[in-house]
Chain A
Amino acid sequence: MTHFIPRYEFRLFGLEEIDSVIATLRAKGIAGKERHISEIYLMTAGNTINNIKIRNKLLDIKTLVKHDDTLEQWNPQEVGQFPLSKEKILSEIFPALGVEAPLLDKDVYTLKEFMQELILVDPDIIVALTEKERYAYSFNDCICEYANVRINGALLRTVAFESENPDLVKAAIRAIDIKDYHKNTNYPKAIKRVLGLEIDYDINNFF
């Protein structure tokens, strides 16, 4: 099994409200690779600590290890490449989703079978198809990026700062014009807001 070192992360989502942060990162950072990526996120209302996604038939789960008032630390774990065994689906994926697993009548599931027979038929699981245009940067010894992200076709922008060393991330965001209203928001939280998977108590004050 691949061994990963959990990184600390600060990430923002928005549109115009994060433009100044992206502009500063582009001005001060060192540009790296540009990547276009399609991913499937599996979302449930009850799960707040597991980020479950499929890219190129590889399912991985990032788990929130700890968080303070500024940063979150996420531990990535590769569950494996489809086709996946019934045991892995039952012991790793459904527990991470936090919903009851259905009866599995196959020993092994292709991605198509997994999606059609186990995911899309479950009313408690919502699928978010994402298309990301990611622009990598290096800044203050942190791994950074900004990205245009389409969530089921609707566009958000994101900008992120990551490192194994939390002090480097904190120093980076101090140097990048982060405002008080810029709140650290991870991918599952941002996707849940678009999907409406969290009860939106502020909606009554929307007008």
Chain B
Amino acid sequence: MAKEELKIGEISKPRFEFRSFGQDFEEAAYLMGRLSVPVPRKVWERESDEIYIVSKTNDINNTKIRDGKMDIKTFVTSVDGLEQWNPLMKGEFPISAKVLKEEVFPAFMVSTPDFEKENYSLDEFMEMVNQNQELQAVRVHKERYGYMVNNTICELADVLINGAHVVSINSESTETEDIKATLRDLELEDIENINYLQAIKRIIGWSDKTLAN
């Protein structure tokens, strides 16, 4: 079967991903910059503010809010340590009680609160999150720098999690062999794959594991 030509910023079939978090990926970042083909200007530098909602009882659904829109991805499978996540739901605030009850709170895997209104604004939803001891809203600011190595979409990012700085590096593709070749080329083979959800939980003290460095 012919490999799909990946294009940064465009929709493809579900991708596998390697990502890690730490303080020092200087050597890998240098190699990424040298090995990358030219990428579209729109992905050279991107900046965003997001709120992640993490749940003590759930490690398989990743919920974030950006620009008033909620996006939940769900873990599908892991192949050779590379993770595949698929979109589970996308919604825009105000969000209906029906969607919160049937899709959002089940994704958090916590008990569903009583809904007294038909629709909920972002502020009202955040209040529900704040009231639930199993949930926590986390501020995430990202400055992402896009590259493309071995036909995998790569990025280096400066990330502030509740205001504290970490560096993230990733490679993603529909083709696991291309990611593995990239990890070899970037000398990242011995680095742990840590997704956003896990990195946030480690930083906020919900996991006793540490970041990659």
Contacts and interface: CB of A to CB of B under 8 A. Distances in A.
Interface of A: 14-15, 43, 120, 126-129, 150-156, 193-196, 199-200, 203-204, 206-207
A153 B202 contact: yes
A194 to B, nearest CB: 5
Contacts, number: 79
Given A153-B22, A204-B122, A127 B139 contact: no
Contact of B210 (A14, A153, A194, A206): A153
A200 B139 contact: yes
Contact of B211 (A153, A194, A200, A203): A153
Interface string B181-209: 00000000000000000000011111010
A127 B211 CA distance: 15
A42 B124 CA distance: 32
Contact of B163 (A128, A150, A153, A194): A194
Interface string B10-28: 0000000000011100000
A99 to B, nearest CB: 14
7 contacts: A14-B163, A120-B208, A126-B206, A128-B205, A151-B203, A156-B165, A199-B130
Contacts of A126: 204-206
Contact of B23 (A127, A153, A195, A199): A153
Contacts of A120: 208
Q: Is the interface of A mostly helix, strand, loop or mixed?
A: mixed
A206 B23 contact: no
A206 B122 CA distance: 11
B97 interface: no
Sorting the interface of chain B by its residue count into under 10, 10 to 19, 20 to 34 or 35 or more gives 20 to 34
Contacts of A156: 163-165
A201 to B, nearest CB: 8
A153 B205 CA distance: 10
Nearest to B48: A207
Of B137, B164, B208, the most chain A CB neighbours within 10 A belong to B164
B27 to A, nearest CB: 18
Interface string B147-171: 0000000000000111111100000
Interface of B: 21-23, 49, 51, 66-68, 122-123, 126, 130, 136-139, 160-166, 202-206, 208, 210-211
A120 B208 CA distance: 9
Contacts of B136: 196
Contact of A196 (B68, B137, B202, B208): B137
Nearest to B67: A207
Nearest to B131: A199
B162 A204 contact: no
A152 B122 contact: no
A155 B126 CA distance: 26
Contacts of A204: 122-123, 126
Contacts of A43: 205
A129 B165 CA distance: 15
Given A196-B136, A196-B138, A207 B68 contact: yes
A120 B66 CA distance: 33
Given A196-B137, A207-B67, A155 B211 contact: no
Contact of B203 (A15, A153, A200): A153
